[in-house]
Structure 1
Amino acid sequence: MTDRRGFDAVPSALRSAAAVAACLLLVAGAVWLVVYLLFKVMALTMAVVAALLLTALVAPVARLVRRLRAPAWAAALSGLLTLLLAIAGALALAGDQVAGQWREMSHGLSAGLHRARDRIVNGPLPISERQLDDTIDGLIKAARRASPDPMTGASVAAEVAAATLLSLFLLFFMLKDGPGMWDWIMRLVPARRRAKIDAAGRAGWGALVSYVHGIVLIALVDAAGIGLALVLIGVPFALPLTLLTFVAAFIPFVGAVVAGAAAVIIAFVSGGLTDALLVLGAVIAVQQAESHLLQPLIMGRTLNLHPVVVVVSVTAGSLLAGIAGAIIAVPVVAVAYRVASVLSADDPPPAVAPAVSPAAPER
């Protein structure tokens, strides 16, 4: 009785705050446990995420083949082969250009480094030749210390290769049996919650598809604009730099800076300060067009994520899982936001989003 009177003596606001804090701690603990388990099997986690992203990308190919009355396995195989041929073709073209221009680029690199060295030593900065040599030697030694040993590099390469093969394996079966997989998951959900969870899952998949298609379109526009500028200016390795720009576009904000810096550096080394400034102007123009036109038009209407949310997501993803985390951070947040929006609604909206695998057989 005394304990009950003591409990009643606690202000109701404090009891409510304690209950909320306990719930938050419970949720935080559950989230931490899930993240911990996912990190324990990082290779598997990244393979599954990559397979989902690739499924959203190449599912239209599989769906088109299915409309030609091809079997499900043939449609899935066509999507997989389309992806592999696109990657292999781009790498082959880029490698051929690198091999053809490597000798010319090596001479340009040597001359460019000498020009940069002379400008630094003889310029307005109070740096002597010996100080510059010491700085360069220190950077080289630091890079060597930071580089992994051969055994660690071989282990990482093996893990990446295994994760790549697993993601391709999962991609094939997601294209082939995606709807069946989702139906099996839905049968595990209680009947009274099935409609809302099904709507939430379809909405999340729709957000993922919108993100993948939107970011691919933006990457193509960026790569085409910067690649055309590199060709017109006469910068070596225009095709590899264009491919780098396309890949870097999948990392919001950070990727554009890295790809642009690489293009400017190669332009400076090969053609001097004028070419570097021209490339820098082209990169800034393309990036401004992307941020003020393409991003709001293509991504803003589909994801409804504020730029601050995007920046925080990319930063958190890169801190947790490096480059891979930076790539998947935005789609994960977009899907989570869409799913949470549907689950928090009073009534599930009509299922208008595409199914889990648009390669589903038409009925």
Structure 2
Amino acid sequence: MVADDAGRTPEETTDRGAGGRQTWAALPWLVRSAVVWSACLVVIVAGLYLLGKIAVLLAPLAIALAATVFLTALLDPVQLALRRLRLPAALAALLTVLLLVGLLFGVGALVWSLTAGQFSELSQELGQGLQRTREFVTSTLPVTDQQLDRLLGQARREVEQGSVDPVSGARTAAEVLGSALLALVLLFFLLKDGRSMWHWTLSRATGPNRAVTAEAGRVGWRTLGAYSRGTMMIAAIDAIGIGIALVLLRVPLAFPLALITFFGGFVPIIGATVAGAVAVLVALAAKGPVTALLVLAAVIAVQQIEGNLLEPLIMKRQVRLHPAVILVAVTAGTLIAGIAGASVSVPITAVVWRIVDTVQRHRQRPAPPAPAPAGP
């Protein structure tokens, strides 16, 4: 009888393997399921952690790629409309990118022209508003002037200690500028050659994987396009509604605050809340607590109308996610990559969910019947 490397005979090794299988089978099904699912969860979390670390290390590139894909899905209908006018692919893509750049510069110039003259007036109103806010806090809350001065002094020292390093600020500005330029260049190439790139990728898949890959790709792209366009429409509605309320209440810097509300709409739940809080704080400092309460009521009313009435009409059912899933995704994205991670976490979650659901549905479909054998 020949022994194996561990000093055991093949029969002993077989007996030990059979004993291990019997021991595993003797465990309750709940314990076995918990072990298997825990192992799968550990592998998935480890993979996501590694991907997150790589994305953080390559943050400028990751942000540029995410912005490029999002903008491509948003501007693809514009590029297709230009292609229907018999324009070449390169010219249609270039005009679409120039339209985006012109829109961004136009909005920036409009914001500056409308608000440049309000800053001097705002500084005086903020001084008076802060004094009114101080009197309101000390008269309604159990806080004395000395305690409030102590808290303000501590906050001022923390801000001074956390001042931005000029070298680090210059490096961050260079990274942001480089990421923006890279995103514009990649946006041009994806608008021009995106479909040919996808067909080339699809041609490398063979057999039954080709069909499921094509279907999952179509569903994922449609989901991203519907999400990007729906989010932009909802953010615009929020910005217009809150902006009108700020103008009617004569709150300074109404247009920039509406613009902050628009960009905050791209971060679900959290972004709209933060943008509304900024508007309320500006109204409180500049116009007092009564105007701030009116602004708060306007923000709540606009967000309730948007969330309960407009969002179900604008967003397709397959794009919408449960609020708990959105909160978890936004929190995870914020912890991994800050504001940029919070902005892209929800569309990534929606696309991944739709792709996984499509693949699962494709596997559950009954197999096509085998062809009948040919007769003699």
Question: Structure 2 length as normaliser, TM-score?
Answer: 0.87
CA shift for structure 1 position 26: 4.3
Unaligned runs of 5+ in 2: 1-10, 366-376
Structure 1 position 74 matched with structure 2 position 91: yes
Counterpart amino acid of residue 172 in structure 2: V
Aligned to 1:183: 199
Aligned to 1:60: 77
Secondary structure of the equivalent of 1:251? Answer: coil
Question: Structure 1 length as normaliser, TM-score?
Answer: 0.89
Aligned to 1:157: 173
Answer yes or no: is the 8 Å Cα contact 1:241–1:263 preserved in 2: yes
Counterpart amino acid of residue 67 in structure 2: A
Aligned to 2:52: 35
Structure 1 position 2 matched with structure 2 position 15: no
Aligned to 1:44: 61
Alignment map for 1:278-293 (pairs within 5 Å): 278-293=294-309
User: Which piece of structure 1 moves more, 99-108 or 272-281?
Assistant: 272-281
Answer yes or no: is the 8 Å Cα contact 1:62–1:76 preserved in 2: yes
* Partner Cα separation in structure 2 for residue 329 and residue 19 of structure 1: 28
Unaligned runs of 5+ in 1: 350-363
Residues 278 and 28 from structure 1, CA distance in 2 versus in 1: closer, same or farther, beyond 3 angstroms? Answer: closer
* Partner Cα separation in structure 2 for residue 35 and residue 81 of structure 1: 33
Structure 1 position 243 matched with structure 2 position 259: yes
Question: Once the two structures are superposed, what CA deviation does each residue of 1:310-360 show, in whole Å capped at 9, x if it has no partner?
Answer: 1111111111111111111110000000110111123599xxxxxxxxxxx
Structure 1 position 12 matched with structure 2 position 25: yes
Structure 1 position 315 matched with structure 2 position 331: yes
Higher RCO, Cα 8 Å, sep 6+: 1
User: Which piece of structure 1 moves more, 32-41 or 112-121?
Assistant: 32-41
Secondary structure of the equivalent of 1:148? Answer: coil
Residues 193 and 177 from structure 1, CA distance in 2 versus in 1: closer, same or farther, beyond 3 angstroms? Answer: same
Counterpart amino acid of residue 12 in structure 1: A
Secondary structure of the equivalent of 1:234? Answer: coil
State percent identity of aligned pairs. 43
CA shift for structure 1 position 307: 1.2
Answer yes or no: is the 8 Å Cα contact 1:203–1:342 preserved in 2: yes
CA shift for structure 1 position 33: 3.3
Structure 1 position 231 matched with structure 2 position 247: yes
Aligned to 2:352: 336
Aligned to 2:131: 114
Structure 1 position 168 matched with structure 2 position 181: no
Question: Once the two structures are superposed, what CA deviation does each residue of 1:232-286 show, in whole Å capped at 9, x if it has no partner?
Answer: 1111111111111111111111111111111112222222222212211111100
Answer yes or no: is the 8 Å Cα contact 1:90–1:243 preserved in 2: no
Secondary structure of the equivalent of 2:317? Answer: helix
Answer yes or no: is the 8 Å Cα contact 1:342–1:348 preserved in 2: no
Residues 172 and 348 from structure 1, CA distance in 2 versus in 1: closer, same or farther, beyond 3 angstroms? Answer: farther
Residues 213 and 134 from structure 1, CA distance in 2 versus in 1: closer, same or farther, beyond 3 angstroms? Answer: same
CA shift for structure 1 position 163: 0.9
* Partner Cα separation in structure 2 for residue 274 and residue 237 of structure 1: 18
Secondary structure of the equivalent of 2:117? Answer: helix
Counterpart amino acid of residue 286 in structure 1: V
CA shift for structure 1 position 143: 1.7
Alignment map for 1:344-363 (pairs within 5 Å): 344-346=360-362
Counterpart amino acid of residue 20 in structure 2: F
Q: CA RMSD in A?
A: 2.1
Structure 1 position 83 matched with structure 2 position 100: yes
* Larger gyration radius, structure 1 or structure 2: 2
Counterpart amino acid of residue 246 in structure 1: F
CA shift for structure 1 position 55: 0.7
